[in-house]
Structure 1
Amino acid sequence: MIPIAKPLLGEEEAEAAREAVLSGWVSQGPQVAAFEADFAAIVGARHACAVSNCTTALHLALLAVGVGPGDEVITVSHSFIAGANSIRQCGAVPVFVDIDADTFNIDPKAIADAATDRTRAIMVVHQMGMPCDMAAVLNVARDLGVPVIEDAACGIGSEILFDGAWRKIGRPMGDIVCFSFHPRKVLTTGEGGMLTTESDAYDANFRLWRQHGMSVSDRARHSSATVIFEDYPVRGYNYRMTDIQAAVGRQQLRRLSHVIARRRALAERYRAALRGMNGVTPPHEPDWARSNWQSYCVWLAEDLDQVSVMQAMLNAGIATRRGIMNMHQEEAQADVPRPHALTRSEAARDHCVLLPLYVQMTNAEQDEVISALDAAIQTSRVRRAG
């Protein structure tokens, strides 16, 4: 079986985790602090704050910019359901707008039409690692006077041409950037997340809230030569990352440049092979974007049945996934008002297929995927014609 994805973990990560376990400090501690410093340096952010996962990162980001009960947050439906869940955890309402079909990201032209006097924030998603058109998004956000949160769950290692220079996703263009380290992501700690920001105040709040609102961190108490009693001035959460996870993450960061280079090479091989294949359109990378290709998502022709193509590939021993989910089509978010058309989002879910892509993939395995996709397309057309 050729899997859809495979985390790249080796002896270095195993040894790092072992050392953290044997150190006796396994919860949030010195390894978390070092991981934060390493991460901030790589992406070029002033602050990086590690948390338990990207969903908790999104929750804290929304709280930091002031989202609360009755507010509205403009975002896409075409993303993992954690986005809407985090908005609703604040008592706010997600306002779903459509995507650009080429990049699978938010359509900046749809944002202004969705704004009301209750709009408190815009949450964009760098979907599958492809950067959003942040210049266009920020122009709208400035006109509206609202902050921008970047959901970069899939975005580590991607780059964008912004203000005339290439910069890493994670150096905030908006107000706060949120990352995931789930095993499907380019960098993994098993579970885990990170927030980056240029704001000292936001970062201070993240660090307070992630540890129950505790005024003094564990590291500060344990390193103090005098007795310290912490207090709890605000309500907080248990959103901490462990030192075991952070130790693994530090090793993952050392692999990052190699990982991105290989993923981009595999994506280019896909593009070259698929651009002439009848029935499939490879994804588009704008001139101002360099994707990490966290996922490789292709459009199927309208005369093809998505499920039959995927089943034929599964029968050939190749795992695929359908296009990215839409939150508004899930029962958990069925009560969210939908005043705006989401036709491109719905088409992407139902007419796109994610192909396998991972660093350990050989050229021979990729050629097998390409051949299986071509055969599956032909099989689907024969069945429809019959």
Structure 2
Amino acid sequence: MSNAKIPVMLPCLGEEEAQAAAEAVRSGWVAQGPRVTAFEKAFAERVGAAEGIAVSNCTTGLHLALVAIGVGPGDEVIVPSLSFIATANAARYVGATPVFADVDLATGNLTEATIDAVRTERTKAIIAVHQGGNPFDTRALRAAATRWGVALVEDAACAAGSTAYGRPVGEGALIAAWSFHPRKVITTGEGGMITTDDAEWAVRLRRLREHGMNVSAAERHAATQPVLEAYLETGYNYRMTDIQAAVGLVQLDRLDGLVAQRRELAARYDELLKGIEGVTPVTVPGYAESNYQSYWILFGAEFATDRDDVLRILADAGISARRGIMAAHLEPAYAGVEADLPNTERLTRHSLILPLHHLLTAEDQDRIVGVLRTLA
């Protein structure tokens, strides 16, 4: 049995990505340009949306989504605390107040009931996360948001390739933000995307990501006569480069194969973990198929070893795992925020993320689960 270190995640990058990036460099067009436009169209089509707006990362995508729907000071935005802290921070960026809702213990996702428990007359929007690639109930939450008269922003950072009710999670979303960070299934290094079916929003979002200009830099460079641009509103520098987009187009071609492989590995984890008392894998609801961007397990009280000790013992065995998904309300940045979130706190304190990537082998999985068995 190999004693090589097992990483928790590896991006799947190869010679095709290197050649695509090199071609972008050789073209002389390395900033936002034609490859970004091509990537926007291809990604939007893949996730079932009419419009794609490439941005510098998912966090800036969430920020612009809230700007587009008109969230500002005095408004409340319901978010899960169980998410990377950027989800909550996006509300603060526009001067709104993030309000933390609890999640379902089995799936790690917001539900209609947990949202309704903290909803007030000041609620302007909800940011719901497809946590770790595990889709929330899109039908239920979209219908509830419409009924309540609030905007539903979908944080799909981890969800490229996941489906809900047989359709890509981005299909039918009011507005969604996506991540291409190296921890995600496909990557552009850094980078993100906003998708929506609203053509007017798309026009404004493209303007906002480029300083509020009424004509893009690419359009100015393509013009045969001088173009005197105007700045219509306060905008941002949230652009993606053509080098990143070139890599993204190759990665998008890999997506289906990567997701299929991750589902096979997750199914094997499910089988290997059966019979280990006190270990519960993430639950994928019947309406969904996860891309398994993350595969996490929850330890019950009957498991003999503390979660943090498990992480240390795995590390000593050359196995890189991660603590469960963070809880923003427990971080110093949100000190003083009152929130009653029992499921969130149990998940963040008693779960961990196991290695899952394209180079993970059956032998690796046997080794990982073998260590867990000794600790049960």
Pairwise TM-score range, normalised by the shorter structure: over 0.9
- Secondary structure class of the residue paired with 1:194: strand
Residue 139 (structure 1) shift: 2.8
Does 2:44 match 1:40? yes
What whole-Å deviation, never above 9, does each CA across 1:132-190 have from its counterpart, x for those lacking one?
A: 012221232122101100000000000010xxxx11122233x1010010000001000
- Secondary structure class of the residue paired with 1:114: coil
Match of 1:381 in 2: none
Deviation above 6 Å: which 4+ runs of structure 1? none
Residue 224 (structure 1) shift: 1.6
Quote the Cα distance in structure 2 between the aligned partners of 1:247 and 1:71. Answer: 38
Match of 1:140 in 2: 144
- Secondary structure class of the residue paired with 1:373: helix
- Give the aligned residue type for 1:26: V
Residue 70 (structure 1) shift: 1.4
5+ unaligned residues in a row in structure 2: which ranges? Answer: none
Match of 1:203 in 2: 202
Match of 1:51 in 2: 55
Quote the Cα distance in structure 2 between the aligned partners of 1:74 and 1:190. Answer: 29
- Give the aligned residue type for 1:318: I
- Give the aligned residue type for 1:197: T
Match of 2:362 in 1: 363
- Secondary structure class of the residue paired with 2:23: helix
- Secondary structure class of the residue paired with 2:164: strand
Does 2:168 match 1:168? yes
Quote the Cα distance in structure 2 between the aligned partners of 1:155 and 1:266. Answer: 17
Say whether the 8 Å CA contact 1:105–1:126 is kept in structure 2: yes
Residue 107 (structure 1) shift: 2.5
- Give the aligned residue type for 2:120: T
Say whether the 8 Å CA contact 1:93–1:336 is kept in structure 2: no
Say whether the 8 Å CA contact 1:72–1:93 is kept in structure 2: yes
- Secondary structure class of the residue paired with 1:137: helix
Quote the Cα distance in structure 1 between the aligned partners of 2:299 and 2:107. Answer: 15
Does 2:319 match 1:318? yes
Quote the Cα distance in structure 2 between the aligned partners of 1:279 and 1:335. Answer: 33
What whole-Å deviation, never above 9, does each CA across 1:222-248 have from its counterpart, x for those lacking one?
A: 222222111101110000001110000
Q: How does 1:3-82 map to 2 (within 5 A)?
A: 3-82=7-86
- Give the aligned residue type for 1:272: E
Instruction: Calculate the aligned-residue CA RMSD, in Å.
Output: 1.1
TM normalised by structure 2 equals 0.96
Residue 337 (structure 1) shift: 4.2
Quote the Cα distance in structure 2 between the aligned partners of 1:169 and 1:21. Answer: 33
What whole-Å deviation, never above 9, does each CA across 1:219-273 have from its counterpart, x for those lacking one?
A: 2112222221111011100000011100000000010111000000000000011
Q: How does 1:209-358 map to 2 (within 5 A)?
A: 209-303=208-302, 304-338=305-339, 341-358=340-357
- Give the aligned residue type for 1:170: G
Q: How does 1:119-158 map to 2 (within 5 A)?
A: 119-158=123-162
- Give the aligned residue type for 2:170: G
TM normalised by structure 1 equals 0.94
Aligned-pair identity (%):
50
Match of 2:108 in 1: 104
- Give the aligned residue type for 1:185: K
Quote the Cα distance in structure 2 between the aligned partners of 1:180 and 1:33. Answer: 17
Say whether the 8 Å CA contact 1:35–1:249 is kept in structure 2: yes
Residue 67 (structure 1) shift: 0.4
Residue 312 (structure 1) shift: 1.1
- Give the aligned residue type for 1:334: A
5+ unaligned residues in a row in structure 1: which ranges? Answer: 379-386
Equivalenced residues, count: 370
Say whether the 8 Å CA contact 1:49–1:195 is kept in structure 2: yes
- Give the aligned residue type for 2:317: A
Quote the Cα distance in structure 2 between the aligned partners of 1:254 and 1:290. Answer: 19
- Give the aligned residue type for 1:153: A
- Secondary structure class of the residue paired with 2:52: strand
Residue 275 (structure 1) shift: 1.9
- Secondary structure class of the residue paired with 2:171: coil
Say whether the 8 Å CA contact 1:64–1:205 is kept in structure 2: yes
Match of 2:94 in 1: 90
